[in-house]
Structure 1
Amino acid sequence: MIDDLLTQAFDRGAKRYDLLVALNPGYHRELRRAAEALIGRLGDREGLRLLDLACGSGASTQALLSASPPGTEIHGLDASRGMLAQARAKHWPRRVTFDQARAGEIDLDRIDGGRDGILTCYLFRNVPEGDRDRAVAEVFALLRPGGWLVVQEYSVAGDPAAAFVWDAVSRGVIIPLGSVLDGGPELYRYLRRSVHDFDSVDRFMQRLAAAGFVDIAHRTAAGWQRGILHTFVAHKPEEHA
């Protein structure tokens, strides 16, 4: 699943992660849109049980909390201890909790299923291609019948124009800025490569369907991230009791 060296790289960059993503125009706006897409499908009702998978430093958790109705329980999971330390250091209501877990290796007896909804942002391209179907199947298992999944992820495969813009921004902005603020370019060079290596939009939607999801939909982001950043929505059928 997610490589230990990659997790360590996220640990090292955790303290500066919020600063770096804040410099990305539209980053927090797109997280809010993804969270609103999930809540919009679940409905404005109290007592929702949500999972923020690959919660990182808590930016996606905050977006989910802001979009959720009163009484919503949110559990954030991430493989990186450093990212979780940053998330836990922020002020949260008691119904928001965090735990360490690695996608594809989640202890389903400890992190119980039956979640009404799952939000996962920037996770699946960090899962090796050969393990990706298993990680998607795991997310399916964590949802209750009738639950909804929202995935936000970068993908440029099969879109030369999007790949050109992504390379230009990566080489001209992300890698140099990360080198200055984070003390080295390695994590940001990985980021550029991982986006190129990830599934095309159609291929990832096929993975969702193969896992059993239905009502699968997709949209791309606005602004410079159009064609690069994508939000996927998928539904676990009611008959999966």
Structure 2
Amino acid sequence: MKSGAVTDEFDRAAASYDTLVAANPGYHRHLRLSARRLALPRGGEGMRVLDLGCGTGASTAALARLFPRARIIGVDASEGMLARARAKKWKPNVRFIHARVEELSADRLGGPSDAVFAAYLLRNCPDTDAALGVMRDLLGPGGRMVLHEYSVADSPAARLVWSLVCWGVIIPLGRLVTGRSDLYRYLWRSVLDFDGVTELRRRMGRAGLENVRSLPLPGWQRGVTHTFLGGVAAEGAS
């Protein structure tokens, strides 16, 4: 399903997406925690921050709250999701672009960015390495990247928790609210099939990111969802 079919399912789910994520305890708080881990200067004054896979704007809101003086660009491949995001109230420093990650370049976005934030995105990209390479190339010297992503392959306990939550809550609730379960069954399977924490850190390193590390998130998602961090060396750094 890693193709246009995923985008189509996100288009169909857009109208109810905010309702569903609101039922996830800690969803918005965890996005803010991962965004804070970018460790940008206070307020993000004069910085360009990319929110890749912004969806309906939950991650964009987290970034805008923490970095109100940054230029924030939300990017998503789903027109349905972007329509929901654009319909919300934003300050002039926030804008949205319809594109796939693989189509982006620093020139298209007005220059290199100071930070890239991508929540629940990489797992959905058809070519993980290609997407990571593009994301790294969008960063200027000293740029920082945070991936907020599910990763359970390294932990049997986390895999069990994920499956129980999916089949006990996420899939039935998704079917109840939207009348379909395709996207939510894909979500369950895609997380089980995705990189473990160790492999994703290695993949980030192979993409040219430095100081790669991961940090846990609290609550029921501990061991299931993680903050992955990396960056690009500053000019003149050896």
TM-score category (smaller protein): over 0.9
2:37 alignment partner, SS class = helix
8 Å contact from structure 2 (residues 106, 112) kept in 1:
no
Query: Could you tell me whether the CA contact under 8 Å between 2:119 and 2:149 is conserved in 1?
Result: yes
Does the 8 Å contact 1:9/1:187 carry over to 2? yes
Pairing 1:176–2:172 present: yes
- Report the counterpart of residue 69 of structure 2 in structure 1: 71
Which residue of 103, 113, 125 maps to 1:127?
Answer: 125
Is 1:55 equivalent to 2:54 in the alignment? yes
Give the letter aligned to residue 30 of structure 2. E
Say whether the 8 Å CA contact 1:113–1:141 is kept in structure 2.
no
Answering whether residue 200 of structure 2 is matched by residue 201 of structure 1, we say no
Shift of 1:194: 0.5
Cα gap change, 1:26/1:240 in structure 2, threshold over 3 Å: closer, same or farther? farther
Give the deviation of 1:136 after TM superposition.
0.5
Which residue number corresponds to residue 222 of structure 2?
A: 226
Q: Is 1:13 matched with 2:13?
A: yes
Normalized against structure 1, the TM-score is what?
0.94
CA contact (8 A) 2:36 2:66 kept: yes
Amino acid at match of 2:192: H
Displacement after TM superposition at 1:108 (Å) = 4.5
- AA aligned to 1:59 is A
In structure 2, C-alpha distance between the alignment counterparts of 1:109 and 1:143, rounded to whole Å: 11
Gaps of 5+ in 2: none
SS in 1 for 2:154: coil
Kindly provide the CA deviation profile for residues 93-144 of structure 1, in whole angstroms up to 9, marking residues without a partner as x: 111000111122325532344101111000011123xx11111010011000
The residue that corresponds to 1:43 in the other structure is 41
Who is 1:24 aligned against?
24
The code of the aligned residue for 1:132 comes to T
Distance, in Å, in 2 between the alignment partners of 1:216 and 1:147 is: 13
Q: CA distance change for structure 1 residues 240 and 78 in 2, over 3 Å: closer, same or farther?
A: farther
Distance 2:142 2:236 in 1: 8
**Displacement of 1:2 after TM fit?**
5.0
SS at match of 2:187: helix
Alignment match of 1:139 (pick from 128, 135, 141): 135
CA distance in 1, matches of 2:36, 2:215: 14
Aligned length: 236
- Cα deviation digits, residues 20-40 of structure 1 (max 9, x gap): 0000001011001011111x2
- In 2, the alpha carbon distance for the partners of 1:75 and 1:136 equals 18
Alignment partner, residue 150 of structure 1:
146
Q: Distance in 2 between matches of 1:158 and 1:151?
A: 17
Percent same amino acid at aligned positions? 50
Query: For 2:103, what is the secondary structure of its paired residue?
Result: coil
- Residue pair 1:50, 1:73 contacting (<8 A) in 2 also: yes
Q: Tell me the amino acid that sits aligned with residue 91 of structure 1.
A: K
CA distance in 1, matches of 2:106, 2:45: 25
Report if the CA contact (8 A) 1:157-1:197 is conserved.
yes
User: Offset of 1:81 from its aligned partner?
Assistant: 0.1
| Aligned partner of residue 104 in structure 1, secondary structure | helix
State whether structure 2 residue 114 is matched by structure 1 residue 116: yes
Deviates more, 1:112-121 or 1:11-20: 112-121
The Cα RMSD (Å) is 1.6
Aligned to 1:81: 79
Tell me the TM-score normalized by structure 2.
0.95
Shift of 1:221: 1.3
Mapped contact 2:105–2:134 kept (Cα < 8 A): no
Matched residues in 1 for 2:91 and 2:217: separation?
Answer: 30
